[in-house]
Structure 1
Amino acid sequence: MMHSFKILLALALGSLVAAEVRAQSATLLSDVTIVDVIDGTLTSGQSVLIRDGLIAEVGAEISSASATRLDGGGGYLIPGLWDSHVHIFSTPNEPDTALPLYLVNGVTGIRDMGALWPIAEQQALQARIEAGEVLGPRLILAGAWVDASPGSWPGMFLADTPDEARGVVDRIAAEGWAAVKAYSMLDGATYLALAEAAHSARLPFVGHIPERVALGTAIEARQDGIEHFGRVAMACSTVEDGMLESLRTVMAEGADLAHIFEIMASRNRIILETWDESLCDAVLARMAEARMHVSPTLGVADFYTGNWPAQDAPRMRMIPAEVREAWGRPDFRLEAMTDEVRALAEDSIALDRRTFLMAHRAGVPILASTDASFANPYLFHGFSLLDELDLYVTIGLTPREALYTATVAPPRFFGLADQDGTIAPGRRADLVLLGANPLEDLSTLRAPQLVIVGGHVLDRAALDGLETMLLDRGH
């Protein structure tokens, strides 16, 4: 698998020679307007000195005889973007496409949430990115997903009892994963044991709220982060307990998967009929108090409603032909949708979005996220993160608030020592230079002038070169 990364690097270096040279010496980026995403202020006429992959100085008057000088032309400098829920290891060669796609979209950090590669191979790529041998975004390996037998996806850790859950966490800690990820079919006792073991191992406990577990139970278990948003809206139903108990009962009786999925699909109608605003306020207040972070992946809904890009769209043409072909085949997730689910889809999506805005206003921490993967049709590495941020603004967040979910919230949640969503000395040099003020309009994110990742400077020509490479390989 690793040979393909050497090919990627060789192809990329043809257009990135200047960027590599800049990364080996100091770089002085002058005349930029620094965007403070935390308080929404702009500071113009600034310079940023980058040395050894870190920001060395920030100020109005900086000089360095040894630094390569780049004129920012008054552009707007933001911290690099993060996508907090992706899957880049679902095929042997997926990183060859995923990594440059993230960079051309200004995404300089990603959290992988579940892979089909062995952890040692994931860590090898992570190390090569950190060493500058492979050009790509910073990579957090948080995909140690734990499910009940037989597992929802290949390669999962499996636990059917509390003792098995504790043993699995020991393995996860020994292998060096960044978190423990709960998955959908765990039973309540096993889930609670998994949570306790993760906290004892000092590993973040994230993932799905299992289908038989209440959101309130997850709060009590101190789940640090939850993936996807549907279970939040379900917790605002006055009959959440009844829906959970129905599933517990049939699973205890040994129901087949078809019956289990039928019960889960019936929840959409029940939630729409029983969602309660006052109850929702109380649930969201508990989540905010517990600092339970949510990775909403709201854009996933487009797949189920058929909101797909045209086959000749640039983002489609940057995807390998075999992946485009696979996306065009019948999909098991779409085939599992009942007529009722299809009929209620727009109302269910609208309710999720209403609940999402309430969650944001209640102070529930949001991590911008997409579920991008070759295994998830029409969810694109890089492009879908910008779509997700636009959706947040459409729902009611300000551009600054949306940017916060992709620049400030992720590195702070991940506990990174050298990143916190600010542009300051000692911080990792993951930066994006824009032509217009993103606090007014996020559309400027789609045409970055510079992307700096780990101190490596990719100017517009280099970014265009990566796009051309992807288009050529996608034919």
Structure 2
Amino acid sequence: MRKTPPRRTLLAFALLTLAPAAAVSAPAGGADLVIEHVTVVPMTDGGAEIRDQTVVIRDGRIAEIGPSTAKRLNAPGRHVDGSHEWLIPGLTDAHAHLENDRILRLVLHAPDLPAGATKDEDVFLPYVANGVTQVVDLSATSETFAQRAAIDNGRVLGPHIVTAAMIDGAAPVWPIGMTRAAADPEAGRRAVRDAAKEGYDLIKVYSRLDLPTFTAIVDEARKQHLPVVGHIPAREQGLTERFFQPGYTVVAHAEEFAQQTAAPDEAAIARYVDMAKRNGTGLIATLTLDERILEEMRDPSSLERRPELAALNPLWRELVLKHNPYVGQSSPAAIARIEKIVAFNRKLVAVFEAAGVPVLAGTDSPVPGVVPGYSLPDELEALTVSGLTPKQALESATRRPNQWLGSAKNRGVVAVGAQADLLLLGADPLADIRNVRRIEAVIVGGGLHSRAELDEKIAALRARHAFAGTNSLPASAPAASTPD
């Protein structure tokens, strides 16, 4: 998450229209779900499309995959005809910020916001409806663990959640409670140890850490077996390479490199890629972030033409439409700067990919303009515009993030034994990445949710939010802070 400091960049959001789909329901009573005559897109390393397959899902996992001609068509369970459909892994958003009551109170400067201002089912439905079955929350709080438990226990339909504890410098950008402050190396180590005891999966480093404290955090995280992801601190100070230390596994934005110099330096891209490759550090692109910021700075009315905003919590939607920091800071100079960052990001990502450095898909939702769930298909399209093939773009949201997280055998692939978090698509995503929007059904933990069911739930969500209105923010609503 990020506050908008002078001469520094910001963030952004995305779009997806819901496609029609077959009306099929989850199997009852724990029976198998059998998908027949489907084209499997396994996304395993080197795996190619396999046509006319039957996939058997049992107890939330993929139990069998084989030619439909060899399968027992009268096997017990719910049978789904997958003819003319493609089965792919569910998608991962590797850079998101999940809403809960605490986050809204802190970000919106609304300490008196009552309990229940956010509802878990409303927070997570847009992800599932858009095929996102896993999110990496880069500003997780204790409330996030309760949200994850509600999903894991089946009380709420939602994606699998990976949690990161954010650590910033002595004067953190974000309020304590959303982040932790570390003024010196020992405080940094202590923050990492606390996060490990509390059960966080990752450590996120932030922009105001000094180099000694950053170094201590990364070293302690290695001892605690916690991967480190995040920003590159000390912007414009010529220290970039010194932050690439063993254990710093992923840079959270392409724009972090753009901001290492006073103006984005495309001549430095080869050097940045070399730093990352030698250190084994991947990149979460967040291309849509700056592209959406640029769009709304150039044309604030573009926000009114984004129907996905209706899925936002009314308080957050009011921030986006009435208190948007990017619209408020729009000027010819600011627009020109974001234009340079957008161009830099595209070239950087292309070179990272060509060099074999892992590029991951992430959105930074819910930055104003970037809507949870809806923004990930936009990000995949942006990656292909930058030069990735549809297959590479799909890898960035399936196998690659799970390789980073150490869960590649369990998630992000269609393989026997893997978690049954899957998408049934009405067109081939390897022919055109835009086909990830052609969702016929989403399978979460083995339960099948049809397009018709998801559309009905989204329509009800939008109606509830419209009824709630958008006039509830306090007069002190923020003009210059949003997640990053």
Q: TM-score, normalised by structure 1?
A: 0.82
Q: What letter is aligned with 1:285?
A: D
Task: Please give the alpha-carbon distance, in whole angstroms, between the structure 1 residues aligned to 2:391 and 2:341.
Answer: 27
Q: Where does residue 58 of structure 2 map in the other structure?
A: 51
Task: Please give the alpha-carbon distance, in whole angstroms, between the structure 2 residues aligned to 1:399 and 1:231.
Answer: 25
Q: What letter is aligned with 2:31?
A: S
* Alignment pair present for 1:284 and 2:273: yes
* Alignment pair present for 1:36 and 2:42: yes
CA distance 1:34–1:211, change in 2 (3 Å)? same
Q: Kindly indicate whether the alpha-carbon contact (under 8 Å) linking 2:303 and 2:321 is maintained by their aligned counterparts in 1.
A: no
CA apart distance, 1:150: 3.0
Task: Please give the alpha-carbon distance, in whole angstroms, between the structure 1 residues aligned to 2:454 and 2:151.
Answer: 18
CA apart distance, 1:344: 3.1
* Alignment pair present for 1:81 and 2:91: yes
Secondary structure of 2:49's match?
Answer: strand
Q: Deviations over 1:68-114 (max 9, x none)?
A: 11111231111111100101123351643331101111111111110
Task: Please give the alpha-carbon distance, in whole angstroms, between the structure 1 residues aligned to 2:306 and 2:323.
Answer: 21
CA distance 1:304–1:94, change in 2 (3 Å)? farther
* Alignment pair present for 1:107 and 2:116: no
Q: Deviations over 1:278-317 (max 9, x none)?
A: x532431331243211112111113432346442543122
Q: 2:251 aligns with which of 226, 242, 245?
A: 226
* Pairing of 1:173-252 with structure 2 (within 5 A): 173-211=196-234, 214-234=239-259
Q: Kindly indicate whether the alpha-carbon contact (under 8 Å) linking 2:399 and 2:408 is maintained by their aligned counterparts in 1.
A: no
Q: Kindly indicate whether the alpha-carbon contact (under 8 Å) linking 1:412 and 1:420 is maintained by their aligned counterparts in 2.
A: no
CA apart distance, 1:456: 1.0
Secondary structure of 2:394's match?
Answer: helix
CA apart distance, 1:218: 2.2
Q: Kindly indicate whether the alpha-carbon contact (under 8 Å) linking 1:22 and 1:456 is maintained by their aligned counterparts in 2.
A: no
Q: Where does residue 9 of structure 1 map in the other structure?
A: none
Q: Deviations over 1:165-184 (max 9, x none)?
A: 11111111111100111111
Task: Please give the alpha-carbon distance, in whole angstroms, between the structure 2 residues aligned to 1:209 and 1:99.
Answer: 30
Q: 2:285 aligns with which of 271, 288, 296?
A: 296
Q: Deviations over 1:348-404 (max 9, x none)?
A: 31122112111111111111000012xx21111111100010011111111111001
Q: Kindly indicate whether the alpha-carbon contact (under 8 Å) linking 2:246 and 2:279 is maintained by their aligned counterparts in 1.
A: no
How many aligned residue pairs are there?
417
* Alignment pair present for 1:378 and 2:366: no
Q: Kindly indicate whether the alpha-carbon contact (under 8 Å) linking 1:315 and 1:383 is maintained by their aligned counterparts in 2.
A: yes
Q: Deviations over 1:305-347 (max 9, x none)?
A: 2346442543122223332222122344555567533333323
CA distance 1:354–1:447, change in 2 (3 Å)? same
CA apart distance, 1:126: 0.8
Secondary structure of 1:385's match?
Answer: helix
Q: Kindly indicate whether the alpha-carbon contact (under 8 Å) linking 1:23 and 1:52 is maintained by their aligned counterparts in 2.
A: no
Q: What letter is aligned with 1:177?
A: Y
Identity %, equivalent residues: 32
Q: Where does residue 320 of structure 2 map in the other structure?
A: 327
CA distance 1:310–1:328, change in 2 (3 Å)? closer
Q: Where does residue 151 of structure 1 map in the other structure?
A: 172
Q: Kindly indicate whether the alpha-carbon contact (under 8 Å) linking 1:206 and 1:225 is maintained by their aligned counterparts in 2.
A: yes
- Indicate the larger mover: 323-332 or 303-312: 303-312
Q: What letter is aligned with 2:37?
A: D
Q: Where does residue 294 of structure 2 map in the other structure?
A: 305
Q: Where does residue 456 of structure 1 map in the other structure?
A: 447
CA apart distance, 1:206: 1.3
Q: Kindly indicate whether the alpha-carbon contact (under 8 Å) linking 1:55 and 1:426 is maintained by their aligned counterparts in 2.
A: yes
Normalized per residue, the structure richer in helix is 1
Task: Please give the alpha-carbon distance, in whole angstroms, between the structure 2 residues aligned to 1:417 and 1:444.
Answer: 23
CA distance 1:401–1:433, change in 2 (3 Å)? same
Task: Please give the alpha-carbon distance, in whole angstroms, between the structure 1 residues aligned to 2:192 and 2:313.
Answer: 36
* Alignment pair present for 1:437 and 2:428: yes
Q: Kindly indicate whether the alpha-carbon contact (under 8 Å) linking 2:208 and 2:233 is maintained by their aligned counterparts in 1.
A: yes
Q: Kindly indicate whether the alpha-carbon contact (under 8 Å) linking 1:86 and 1:111 is maintained by their aligned counterparts in 2.
A: yes
* Pairing of 1:260-409 with structure 2 (within 5 A): 267-268=262-263, 271-272=264-265, 275-276=266-267, 279-307=268-296, 309-311=302-304, 313-332=306-325, 335=328, 340-373=333-366, 376-409=367-400
Q: What letter is aligned with 2:93?
A: D
Q: Kindly indicate whether the alpha-carbon contact (under 8 Å) linking 1:147 and 1:185 is maintained by their aligned counterparts in 2.
A: yes
Secondary structure of 1:41's match?
Answer: coil
CA distance 1:367–1:428, change in 2 (3 Å)? same
CA apart distance, 1:226: 1.2
Q: Kindly indicate whether the alpha-carbon contact (under 8 Å) linking 1:22 and 1:457 is maintained by their aligned counterparts in 2.
A: no
Secondary structure of 1:311's match?
Answer: helix
Secondary structure of 2:93's match?
Answer: strand
Q: TM-score, normalised by structure 2?
A: 0.81
Q: Kindly indicate whether the alpha-carbon contact (under 8 Å) linking 2:96 and 2:364 is maintained by their aligned counterparts in 1.
A: yes
CA apart distance, 1:406: 0.3
Q: What letter is aligned with 2:174?
A: W
Task: Please give the alpha-carbon distance, in whole angstroms, between the structure 1 residues aligned to 2:217 and 2:375.
Answer: 32
Secondary structure of 1:84's match?
Answer: strand
Secondary structure of 2:335's match?
Answer: helix
Q: Kindly indicate whether the alpha-carbon contact (under 8 Å) linking 2:258 and 2:341 is maintained by their aligned counterparts in 1.
A: no
Q: Where does residue 5 of structure 1 map in the other structure?
A: none
Q: Where does residue 249 of structure 1 map in the other structure?
A: none
Q: Kindly indicate whether the alpha-carbon contact (under 8 Å) linking 2:410 and 2:418 is maintained by their aligned counterparts in 1.
A: yes
